[in-house]
Amino acid sequence: MSHHIVEFKDVCFSYPDGTEALRGVSFRITHGEAVGIIGANGAGKSTLLFHMNGCLMPSSGTVLIGEFELNKKTRADIRKRVGLVFQNPDDQLFMPTVYEDVAFGPLNLGLSEDVVRARVEEALATVGCYRLKDRPPHHLSMGQRRAVSIAAVIAMQPDILVMDEPSADLDPRSRRQLISLLKGFTHTKIIASHDLDLIMDTCTRCIVLSDGRITADGSAEEILMDEGLLVENGLELPLSLKYRCMQQEGAFHD
Amino acid sequence: MHMSDALLSPAVGGSFWAGSFGLITYCANRLKDRVDDRIVPLMGVLGAFVFSAQMINFTIPGTGSSGHISGAMLLAILLGPYAGFIVISSVLIIQCLFFGDGGLLALGCNIWNLGLYPCFVAYPLVYRPIAGTGASSRRIMIASVLGVVVGLELGAFSVVVQTVLSGRSELPFKAFVAAMLPIHLAIGLVEGLVTAGIINYVRKAMPGFLEGRSLSDMRGTMKGVVIAFAVMALLTGGVLSWFASTHPDGLEWSVERVYGERELPVDGGVITRWFRDIQEALTILPDYDIPADSGGQADTVEGYPSPDVGTSLSGVVGALMVGIVILFIGMGIRHRRLKG
Amino acid sequence: MTSFDKAYFNLGYIDTLSYGDSFVHRLDPRVKLIVTIVFIVSVVSFPKYEILRLIPFFLFPVFMMTAGNIPSGFVLKRMLFVSPFVIMTGIFNPILDSKTFHLVSGLTISAGWVSFFSIMLRFLLTVSSALLLIATTSFYGVCHALNSLGLPRAFVIQMVFLYRYTFVLAGEAMRMVRGVTIRSSNRGMGMGTFVNLLGVLFLRTMKRSEAIYQAMCSRGFDGEVRLLRSLRIRLNDLAFAIISITLFIIFRWFDIPGYIGGLVIR
């Protein structure tokens, strides 16, 4: 299953205004891994994700998806394998109804209408949004929009699922539902987030990004419990761990 | 100044529908050989932008009243004439459907008046030559104001032509023009200033955005203008000149005469007559409120009504009854729905 | 509430109505569009002094409104905002047209008022039917109808995107307008503020456009937006089309009020 590999080799990227967003990033993610990418605002998380399907092209270094190196020629094929869920569902849900939106990707794959319909219905059922299929996106709650965005991506049946801040703007219940949904996926998962609890619940490995560089890469459990490392990178312990620590320290006396 | 269904005849409405939707098809085909696919979402969100901007009222300096922009020239400058025309047409369709501006039949006229003139006449022939490369904000200011004014005046003139050709309104051509053009001159000045303001803002905030775009589709533009003019000449010019030739007294004809209906002789020029009538109306208007006026006025035309006017008593009674029946049908359906 | 809020909520209200469920809502959008256009053409094709024979045509908006479960208050309220242009243009008819009609002996009516009322009736009929079309058909349904009636795809897609992002951008604009209103006296927004506000909105619009483009590309966009075929004409649609168009033809060619009135008076 070599084609589910994501490999970055010394990737650098600067925006046209000169901002250096990535300064030599290297890592290798293998089939079936669930990887959290964490870092403070402006650390380069979104920029990194946009390199995984060619929304951005590295200024130097190489990105390998499966056996393909990312370039203008392979970009279209890579996009079929890497499903990217954007941070803002309003950017992603551009079609007028949920059904049409989820169908947009499969239709572009050149599938027949019957196959497209089957895929759309399956994807909507997976995220529990089938009953919303005829609704326009602007009538959905934030949690529903997020779920539909995910359905729109999994309807293309990608091998690798990449998500940017999936729990942003969600109320606690929608967030809980999202986490159980993500846990159910067997894809290779790459999730960028500030929400360290979400990362802890859904990922096994964690990459810490700071100022365009990788400052730590290892098991999620170890990294997320290392308060010193997290603070150094502008982050804090996940709330659930903090709570546990405080309990151990006897901060709460019932 | 949306044209309205209520003032239109089917022939005029239909012709402008054909003209406008023909031009939309032409523009859509031109967009197929675009360079950059980015224009697909860009057109959509810019349409939403202009539509939202139209909902914002601002105070017009020195008047205390408020106005909003129409945005056609802005779109032409930002997107070029083809894409700009398609976007403003889509905005007009939404306005027509959701706010009842104009009406479905008048849609053709409105797209023509508010879209074609700014995009295909004022933009290439007024704005572009004056704005030049777009390097000086003063030139942009002059170009925008003049461009918007020319576009709006042509549109306003076109509204008058459409209204008079339809023959539902009594307004004489010259007086109507004399009323419409100055109003739109004022509106155009304000919109031109606002347009220039936004363009200059964009130039500062996103240098390069305007230059690249408008240069790239300049060549196609001129061809488009020629075609647009050809269609326009066929529709308005042709019809106008036909009327002008059959009526040697220039444009001072009235539609009743064309249709052979009877009319009182007009003494004096149209405008003097118009003012005299307004004056007269102001004094006798209260009498008109009661339709049961004494029949002995000098104006009464004996032997009217014409056969297709059902002004007999039986007609009035019948119409009342039909109205009541429709009301009951409506109440019946609603009642059944509420029960069901 | 600012006038912007009103316009925005109005838009949202019609949008919500259009996703209702009723016999009228379930009709094929193409059929509704064509029937509405035939209706409007029939109404405006009457000569200018016609009032009475326009009355039967009210059956159509009344049917659409009641069967489509659209609150009558909404439609009536919209009718009150009669376009100033129509009034301004029509109001000169009573002034300029001084002919009179004999109603019965001794009873006359000014021809100008007749044609003015005729214009007003036309206005009510045409505008209400267009509003009811969109209140009973989702805008997307209308787009689908236009697409299958042969309008260019690029144009239809433009309308789809415009509609989708109107709700996003108008929401942003509303928040900005509120911000300005809160911080300024109630003198209204000056032109300078307006231009700056639009400038900021424009930059956000551009940013969003780029994000949408990336999202489209991520899902295989290659320059063409494909649509699923989803419209199907059913028996109900055919029945609706045939009955309404037949009625319009009858109303147009036969003087129904005249016949009925004649029968009653005799």
Indicate the range of A162-176, C100-114, C132-146, C245-259 predicted with least confidence: C100-114
Q: Where are the domains of chain A?
A: 2-248
Contacts of residue A73, defined as CB under 8 A and 6 or more positions apart, other chains included, come to none
- Could you tell me which of A179, A211, A214 has the C-alpha nearest to residue A197? A179
DSSP assignment of B260-271 equals T---PPP-S-HH
Longest Cα–Cα distance in chain B:
74
> What are the C-alpha distances in Å from B308 to residues B305, C47, C259?
8, 8, 14
Q: Which helix (DSSP H) or strand (DSSP E) does residue C15 occupy?
A: helix C3-18
- The distance of C85 to chain B (nearest Cα, Å) reads 6
Is 70 exceeded by the pLDDT of residue B51?
A: yes
Mean pLDDT over B307-335 rounds to 70
Residue B61: which pLDDT band, with cuts at 50, 70 and 90?
low
Q: What is the CATH number of the domain that holds B180?
A: 1.10.1760.20
Chains that touch C (3 or more CB pairs under 8 A): A, B
What's the token pair of residue C137?
Answer: 């058909």
User: What type of residue sits at position C179?
Assistant: G
Provide the token pair at C192: 């300078």
Residue at C76: amino acid letter: L
Give the end of a domain, one of B246, B269, B286.
B246
Q: Answer yes or no: do C104 and C125 share one domain.
A: yes
A189 strand-pairing partners: A34, A161
Q: Which two tokens stand for residue B321?
A: 């009854």
Given a cut of 60, whether residue B20 has pLDDT beyond it is yes
Whether B168 contacts B7, CB under 8 Å: yes
In a domain, residue B300? The reply is: no
- Cβ <8 Å between A86 and C138: no
Shortest distance between the Cα of B127 and any Cα of chain C, in A, equals: 20
Q: Which amino acid is at B180?
A: M
Question: Per-residue pLDDT averaged across A131-137, rounded?
Answer: 89
Q: pLDDT, tens digit, for every residue of A59-107?
A: 999 999 988 899 888 888 888 889 999 988 988 898 888 998 999 999 9
Q: Residue C102: which of B90, B295, B308 has the nearest Cβ?
A: B295
Same domain, C206 and C246: no
Among B1, B24, B297, select the one facing C152 at the smallest CB separation: B24
Cα–Cα dist C16/C20, whole Å: 7
Q: Which helix (H) or strand (E) holds C238?
A: helix C235-253
B218, two tokens: 């300049």
Confidence of residue B238 (pLDDT cuts 50, 70, 90): very low
Mean pLDDT of C93-104: 74
Residues C124 and C218 in one domain: no
The set of residues, in sequence order, having a beta carbon less than 8 Å from that of B179 and lying 6+ positions away, is none
Sign of CA dihedral B40, B41, B44, B50: negative
Residue C145 within any structural domain of the chain: no
Task: Categorize the per-residue pLDDT at B340 as very low, low, confident or very high, splitting at 50, 70 and 90.
Answer: low
Q: What ipTM is given for this predicted complex?
A: 0.87
Per-residue pLDDT reduced to its tens digit, C23-69: 999 999 999 999 999 999 999 888 888 888 899 999 999 999 999 98
Whether residues C103 and C187 fall in one domain: no
Instruction: Output the pLDDT for position B306.
Output: 39
Q: Is residue C4 part of a domain?
A: yes
CA distance B227 to B134: 26
Say if C146 falls within a structural domain: no
pLDDT of B67: 67
Contacts of residue C187, defined as CB under 8 A and 6 or more positions apart, other chains included, come to B59
Q: Is B275 inside any structural domain?
A: no
Q: Which residues contact C4 (CB under 8 A, 6 or more apart)?
A: B55, B56, B57, C173, C174, C177
The C-alpha atoms of residue B309 and residue C52 are separated, in whole angstroms, by 8
Question: How many domains does chain C fold into?
Answer: 2
Q: Would you give the DSSP letter of residue B306?
A: P
pLDDT at A246: 74
Whether the CB of B63 is below 8 Å from some CB of chain C: the reply is no
Per-residue pLDDT for C173 more than 50?
yes
pLDDT at C133: 92
Amino acid identity at B263:
E
Q: Distance from A179 to chain C by nearest Cα, in Å?
A: 23
Residues of A within 8 A of C25 (CB-CB) are none
Work out whether the CA dihedral C93, C96, C99, C100 comes out positive or negative.
positive
Residues B53 and B187 in one domain: yes
Nearest residue of chain C to residue A79 (CA atoms): C218
Looking at the structure, do residues B114 and B223 belong to the same domain, yes or no? Answer: yes
Tell whether B197 lies on the interface with C, counting CB pairs under 8 A.
yes
Lowest mean pLDDT among A185-199, B242-256, C148-162, C176-190: B242-256
The domain in which residue C168 lies consists of: 1-19+152-230
Per CATH, is A2-248 categorized as 3.40.190.150?
Answer: no
Taking the C-alpha atoms of residue A119 and residue A113, their distance in angstroms, rounded to an integer, is 10
Q: Are residues B77 and B177 in the same domain?
A: yes
* Residue B280: inside a domain: no
Q: What is the spatial distance between Cα A146 and Cα A166, in angstroms, rounded to a whole number?
A: 7
Q: Which residue of A has its CA nearest to C143?
A: A96
pLDDT recorded at residue B335: 76
Beta partners for residue A22, in sequence order: A13
The amino acid at B300: T
Q: Give yes or no for B226 touching C (CB within 8 A).
A: no
Number of folded domains that form chain B? 2
B92 and B167 belong to one structural domain: yes
Q: How close C177 comes to chain B (CA, Å)?
A: 8
Return d(Cα B192, Cα B149) in angstroms, integer.
7
What is the share, in percent, of chain B residues with pLDDT greater than 90? Answer: 11
Min Cα distance B117 → chain C (Å) is: 19
Q: What is the dihedral of CA B157, B160, B161, B163, to 10 degrees?
A: 160
Strands A60-65 and A82-85: unpaired
Nearest Cα of chain B lies from the Cα of C241 at a distance, in angstroms, of: 18
Residues C88, C63 share a domain: yes
More confident residue, B14 or A242: B14
Contacts of B205 in chain C (CB under 8 A): 199, 203
Mean pLDDT, residues A242-251 taken together: 71
Q: Which of C258, C256, C96, C108 is nearest to B303 (CA)?
A: C108
Which subunits have 3 or more CB–CB pairs within 8 Å of chain B? Answer: C
Sign of CA dihedral A203, A207, A208, A212: negative
How is residue A190 written in tokens? 């790459």
C54 in any annotated domain: yes
Residue of chain C whose Cα is closest to the Cα of B8: C44
Question: What's the rounded mean pLDDT across residues A131-154?
Answer: 90
Q: Are residues C125 and C85 in the same domain?
A: yes
Question: Residue C61's CB: how many other CB atoms inside 10 A?
Answer: 26
- Cβ distance of A152 and C229 shorter than 8 Å: no
**Greatest mean pLDDT among B80-84, B311-315, C221-225:** B80-84
For residues A87, A88, A89, A93, the Cα torsion angle rounded to the nearest 10 degrees is -110
What DSSP character marks residue B293?
A: B
Question: If you count residue pairs, one on B and one on C, with CB atoms under 8 Å apart, how many are there?
Answer: 420
Phi, psi of C102 (to 5 degrees): -85, 125
Closest residue to A86, CB basis, from C19, C215, C221: C215
- With an 8 Å Cβ cutoff, the interface of chain A facing chain C consists of 50, 53-55, 76, 79-80, 83-84, 86, 88, 90-92, 94-97, 99-100, 103-105, 107-109, 113, 116-117, 134-139, 152-153, 156
Instruction: Say whether both B330 and B188 belong to one domain.
Output: no
End-to-end CA distance of chain B: 44
Residues C32, C125, single domain; the answer is yes
CB atoms within 10 A of CB B41: 25
Q: Please compute the mean of the pLDDT values over residues B310-332 and round it to a whole number.
A: 73
Considering the domain architecture, whether residues C115 and C30 belong to the same structural domain is answered as: yes
Q: Which range (A189-193, C2-6, C48-52, C146-150) has the least confidence?
A: C2-6
Chain C residues whose beta carbon lies within 8 Å of the beta carbon of residue A95? 160, 164
Q: Which residue has the higher pLDDT, B49 or C185?
A: B49
Helices (H), chain B: 10-32, 39-55, 72-79, 81-99, 107-111, 128-131, 137-166, 173-205, 209-216, 218-232, 238-246, 255-258, 270-289, 313-339
Q: Looking at chain C, which residue has its C-alpha nearest residue B32? A: C154
B166 and B26 belong to one structural domain: yes
- Joined tokens for residue C202: 């424009």
Residues from chain B that touch C258, judged by Cβ atoms under 8 A, are 310, 312, 314-315, 318
- Asked whether residue B277 is domain-assigned, the answer is no
Residues B320 and B239 in one domain: no
Q: What is the 3-state secondary structure (H, E, C) of A21-51?
A: EEEEEEEEECCCCEEEEECCCCCCHHHHHHC
Subunits next to A (3 or more Cβ pairs <8 Å) are C
H/E segment holding residue A209: strand A205-210
Q: How far is C50 from chain B (nearest CA, A)?
A: 6
Q: Which residue of B has its CA nearest to C71?
A: B334
Instruction: List the single range of B103-112, B249-258, C209-218, C244-253 with lowest mean pLDDT.
Output: B249-258
pLDDT, tens digit (0-9, with 9 covering 90-100), for B257-292: 333 333 333 344 444 444 444 444 443 333 323 233
Distance from CA of B238 to the nearest CA of C (A): 22
Is C107 or C8 the better-scoring residue by pLDDT?
C8
Q: Where in the sequence is the domain holding B331, given as residue range(s)?
A: 313-340
Whether residue B234 is contained in a domain is answered as: yes
The token pair that represents C191 in the structure block: 């032109």
Residues 15-74 (C) with a CB less than 8 A from some CB of B: 22, 36-37, 40-41, 43-45, 47-53, 55-56, 58-59, 62-63, 65-67, 69
pLDDT of C88 higher than 80: no
Q: What gap in Å lies between CA C146 and CA C138, rounded to an integer? A: 13
Measured between beta carbons, which residues in chain C are less than 8 angstroms from residue B278? 95
d(CA C38, CA C248): 8
Please, what's the b/e burial string for B124-159 (b: 16 or more CB within 10 A of its CB; e: otherwise)? bbbbbebbeebeeeeebbbbbbbbbbbbbbbbbbbb
- A227-247 mean pLDDT: 81
Are residues C65 and C97 located together in one domain of the fold? yes
Q: Tell the residue number behind the tokens 């045509």, with chain if given.
A: C57
| Residues of chain A positioned with their CB less than 8 A from the CB of C228 | 99-100, 103, 107, 113, 116-117
Q: Which residues, in sequence order, are CB contacts of B248 under 8 Å at separation 6+? A: none
Q: Is residue B186 part of a domain?
A: yes
pLDDT mean over B208-219: 52
**DSSP structure string for A146-173:** HHHHHHHHHTT--SEEEEESTTTT--HH
Q: Above 70 in pLDDT, residue B235?
A: no
